[in-house]
């Protein structure tokens, strides 16, 4: 159901790769709510992914930009303002990638060049986006910027690897820039901490299917889907949340406030008398995984 919440608003949506992408679902909802926007991704992703189909569906133009490259971000904001006919009202940063995760490097044996890339792509790109937007004065007063995060920023999750550090930095950038941009231009900046969701990036996390099941059993409302995340983003882009800023907002069915649920406990009990395959003699290097 559409409410015209974004009628007349102009946006930039990063990170729609295929129909599983959270950004894809946000774009569909933003279109339904009356927004006009540009879609952006790396040129490789635009070649390999399905973003062109989404662009056609939403009547949006595609602009290639590597979010770690300041010149490409400047071009993105410039072109978006030209195409959309004015300053931007909302931005979605939906970007994450860790070469350490991709190459199967353990957290206690990180490749530091990869770590720099993880942080640059998944967190510092958020700062670059905000800094470019501010210097170009590209975002309207009371505009809204949202980036997507995960609870591994606060708590340790097996297999999330250096993405946990990237998410902690991402959330901190949201707060630090939120102060400056809020004071100067009333621009609000928030992160949404989303449940595990089946997407290309999500599937890269070690033991993802079990994580998904565990989170679902732990959450009183169950895991939030990509569609739920899109709905939440729309409220944050709308004028209904004008004084929400510098927050990390959990869209996770209650997971982050839980300690243990009966559903998770009962499932755990079923496996209690079976030998665990992790740690000990089976894997001496990673005793504590
Ligand atoms: N899927 C989950 O379980 C989950 C949970 C919480 C948060 N998130 C976050 O949601 C966001 C979107 O991920 P998703 O799950 O929709 O997966 P996805 O793989 O569909 O999206 C990730 C996007 O990042 C883009 N990207 C990678 N490097 C880039 C770069 N240098 N410049 C610009 N774009 C680049 C990719 O092309 C891709 O479109 C990420 O920040 C992710 O960490 C995902």
Q: Are 246 and 179 in contact (CB under 8 A)?
A: yes
- What is the arithmetic mean of pLDDT over 192-215? 90
Q: Is the CB of 248 under 6 A from ligand 1?
A: no
Mean of pLDDT over the chain: 95
Nearest protein Cα to ligand 1, atom 5 = 196
Please state which of the ranges 98-112, 127-141, 192-206 shows the lowest mean pLDDT.
192-206
**C-alpha 139: how far from its chain's center?**
20
40 lines ligand 1 (CB under 6 A): no
Name the DSSP class of 225. Answer: P
Residues 260-281: pLDDT tens digits? 999 999 998 998 887 776 655 4
Whether ligand 1 lies within 6 angstroms of the CB of 97 is answered as yes
Atom of ligand 1 nearest to the CA of 167: 43
Query: DSSP for 134-186?
Result: HHTT-EEEEEEEEEEE-GGGTS--TT-TTHHHHHHHHHHHHHHHHHHHHHHH-
42: left (phi over 0), alpha (psi -120 to 50) or beta: beta
11 lines ligand 1 (CB under 6 A): no
Beta strands in the chain, from DSSP E residues, in sequence order: 10-14, 36-41, 61-64, 88-93, 139-149, 188-194, 248-251
Pocket flag, ligand 1, residue 202 (CB < 6 Å)? yes
pLDDT in tens, 18-36: 999 999 999 999 999 999 9
pLDDT in tens, 111-159: 999 999 999 999 999 999 999 999 999 999 999 999 999 999 999 999 9
Is residue 14 very low, low, confident or very high in pLDDT (cuts 50, 70, 90)?
very high
Establish whether residue 130 lines the binding site of ligand 1, counting it when its CB lies within 6 angstroms of any ligand atom. no
Q: What is the pLDDT of residue 275?
A: 74
Atom of ligand 1 nearest to the CA of 150: 6
């Amino acid at each position: 159901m559409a409410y015209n919440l974004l009628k007349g608003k102009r946006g930039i949506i990063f990170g729609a790769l295929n129909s599983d992408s959270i950004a894809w679902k946000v774009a569909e909802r933003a279109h339904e709510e009356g927004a006009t926007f540009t879609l952006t991704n790396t040129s490789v992703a635009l070649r390999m992914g399905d973003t062109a189909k989404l662009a056609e569906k939403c009547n949006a133009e595609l602009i290639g930009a590597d979010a770690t490259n300041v010149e490409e971000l400047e071009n993105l904001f410039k072109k978006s303002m030209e195409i959309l006919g004015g300053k931007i009202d909302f931005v979605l940063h939906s970007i994450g990638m860790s070469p350490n995760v991709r190459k199967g490097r353990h957290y206690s044996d990180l490749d530091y060049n990869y770590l720099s890339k993880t942080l640059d792509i998944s967190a510092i790109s958020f700062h670059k986006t905000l800094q470019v937007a501010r210097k170009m004065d590209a975002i309207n007063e009371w505009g809204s910027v949202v980036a997507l995060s995960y609870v591994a920023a606060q708590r340790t999750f097996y297999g999330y690897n250096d993405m946990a550090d990237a998410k902690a930095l991402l959330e901190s950038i949201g707060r630090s820039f939120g102060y400056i941009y809020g004071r100067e231009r009333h621009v609000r900046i928030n992160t949404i901490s989303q449940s595990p969701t089946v997407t290309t990036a999500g599937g890269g996390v070690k033991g993802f299917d079990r994580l998904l099941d565990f989170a679902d059993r732990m959450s009183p409302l169950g895991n939030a889907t990509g569609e739920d995340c899109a709905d939440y983003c729309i409220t944050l882009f709308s004028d209904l949340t004008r004084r929400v800023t510098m927050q990390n907002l959990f869209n996770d069915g209650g997971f982050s406030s839980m300690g243990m649920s009966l559903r998770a406990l009962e499932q755990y009990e079923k496996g209690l008398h079976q030998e665990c395959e992790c740690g000990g003699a089976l894997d001496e290097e990673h005793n504590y995984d």
